[in-house]
Amino acid sequence: MGLITPEKYKKSLKDGRVVYYEGEKVEDVTTHQALKVCVETAALDYQMAETPEYRDLATVKLPKTGELISRYYYTPQNAEDLLKRHELMVAATRLGGSVIPFIHDIGADTLNAVNITAKMMGKKEYRERAEDYRYYLQKNDLSAASAVTDVKGDRMERPSSPKQAHPDYYVRVIDKDDKGITVRGAKAHITASAYTKELFVIPCRNMTEQDKDYAVAFAIPVNTKGIKQICHPITWKLGALEFPIDLPIRNHTDSLIIFDDFFVPWDRVFLCGEYQYAIALVYHFAYLHRHTAASYRIPVSEAMLGAAQAIAEYNGIDKIPHIREKITNLIIYVDTLKSLARASCMDYVTHEGIPIPNPVISNIAKYHFAENIHNCIKAIEDIAGGLLITAPTYKDFQNPETKGYIEKYLGGKAGIPTEDRLRILQLIRRRLATFETEVLALHAEGSLQAQRMTIYAERISEVQKYKQWVETAAGIKR
């Protein structure tokens, strides 16, 4: 089969999955007033594969059959493959108005991490399962989410610690037989899982021998009996007080996923008790996913820069030196992120025969974005001025009794319509300079400290070499 249409993707979601939104069970995610916005956003992945402008970027020929498949599920061979995947994510995010579709890319990060870890383990059955599952995703073009973050309970205690209030804060195996395993637990912050077909589940931390029941990884259809999802509310329409826009709203929701004693057959299990390899799976997912993060954050950063320039011009202050300095800082921010994301592909490393973006550069790219976004938002807010939060509403602008006053007194630079100025302020207020944007930047794809730990662990051996060099230069003999 190879590729499916957006329509077939949407139809496939009518499969009895258990999803809750704002306290109510959702009968159909494709028609639910909020979740259908997410489904339409996710469908952009399938749309790109059908669009001549993006087809060569979004698809690749499967070597064993010659049929077209999603580029995300293709095993990369070299820097060119990594760069094309990077460019695909950037293009998809731009097409989505700074929202990436999120139904192939994260699943592909986990898929590659599972394949690498299976080869590291040296177990034939795991290696074959991982490759068979890759082919299953390729030939059916299935969307896949990744459930990584456990709810954790007491963060200072291990998964198996008796000091935890209960043993299910981390996903664990509670039974197994010759047919498969039974699983219990929960995962949090899982993006797009309410409207994907498949779900990867992997550990989120290192494990000890005492934690071996928690060292589990598998893939399962989302509509499997025993899986329940509780979705986070999203913005799915503009309010009556806001200026309408012609472009469709794009958004995603995140789920708390409950694994209520459900069964996983052995052919879908990639880790079960091999606690020594849990951290390898975690790290390889993180290496890959932080490059994904750096890629899709590029259009987000470009939007912030564009909004800053627009409101500076509309306010008539774009020639003022300190405003230009802020714009220049934003340019440096955007171009540094772009350069790091591309460099990580070009300076790739190979793990178990699979090229991956350079882990250090990828982590630096993600860290650069998250560490500096607050100052970027601060600069945009400073350039925009206080009207960012005190502007009259669209209804006030429509009211013939007040519209004339608003147009006269809230104008900016001559020649710029007042409405244009108010629209840019609305965009900044709703999409760019938001609390949600800042929190996601900090915590999505791992915390700042997680990136710092990875960078240090990957580079400390080289740091020791540098230390030896300077000791030699100083005449110190060891």
DSSP 392: P
DSSP string, 88-123: HHHHHHHHTTS----SSHHHHHHHHHHHHHHHHHT-
CATH number of this structure's domain 6-273: 2.40.110.10
Supply the pLDDT for residue 1. 66
329 contacts: CB under 8 Å, gap ≥ 6: 375, 376, 379
Residue 193 structure tokens: 């899982």
190 contacts: CB under 8 Å, gap ≥ 6: 145, 146, 147, 148, 149, 229, 254, 255, 256, 257
Residue 299 structure tokens: 């259009």
Compute the distance between CA of residue 43 and CA of residue 69 in angstroms, rounded to an integer: 16
Compute the distance between CA of residue 246 and CA of residue 474 in angstroms, rounded to an integer: 66
- Length of the chain measured in residues: 478
DSSP 72: G
Which residue positions in the chain have pLDDT lower than 50?
none
Helix (H) or strand (E) holding 450: helix 448-473
Domain 279-466: CATH architecture, name and number where available? Up-down Bundle (1.20)
DSSP 150: B
Task: Note the Cα 474 to chain centre separation in Å.
Answer: 47
Residue 124 structure tokens: 């034939």
Residues of the chain with CATH 2.40.110.10: 6-273
Is residue 30 classed as helix, strand or coil in its secondary structure?
coil
Phi, psi (degrees; rounded to nearest 5) at 451:
-65, -40
Compute the distance between CA of residue 147 and CA of residue 293 in angstroms, rounded to an integer: 16
DSSP 194: G
| Helical residues (DSSP H) of 28-68, grouped into ranges | 35-42, 44-50, 52-58
Q: Which of 441, 458, 450, 456 is nearest to 204 (CA)?
A: 450
Compute the distance between CA of residue 376 and CA of residue 381 in angstroms, rounded to an integer: 9
Give how far Cα 346 sits from Cα of 157, 357, 392, 464, Å: 40, 8, 49, 25
Compute the distance between CA of residue 203 and CA of residue 172 in angstroms, rounded to an integer: 9
The answer to whether 399 and 240 are in contact (CB under 8 A) is no
The answer to whether 114 and 270 are in contact (CB under 8 A) is yes
The answer to whether 39 and 29 are in contact (CB under 8 A) is yes
Burial of residue 114, with CB atoms counted within 10 A of its CB: 0-12 exposed, 13-18 middle, 19 or more buried:
buried
Compute the distance between CA of residue 124 and CA of residue 425 in angstroms, rounded to an integer: 57
Supply the pLDDT for residue 63. 78
Compute the distance between CA of residue 113 and CA of residue 287 in angstroms, rounded to an integer: 9
Compute the distance between CA of residue 32 and CA of residue 131 in angstroms, rounded to an integer: 36
Compute the distance between CA of residue 248 and CA of residue 164 in angstroms, rounded to an integer: 45
Q: How much is the pTM?
A: 0.93
Residues of the chain with CATH 1.20.140.10: 279-466
Residue 93 structure tokens: 């995010």
Q: Other C-beta atoms within 10 Å of 236: how many?
A: 15
**Dihedral sign from CA coordinates of 288, 291, 295, 298:** positive
Compute the distance between CA of residue 139 and CA of residue 3 in angstroms, rounded to an integer: 7
Task: Note the Cα 183 to chain centre separation in Å.
Answer: 25
Compute the distance between CA of residue 174 and CA of residue 264 in angstroms, rounded to an integer: 12
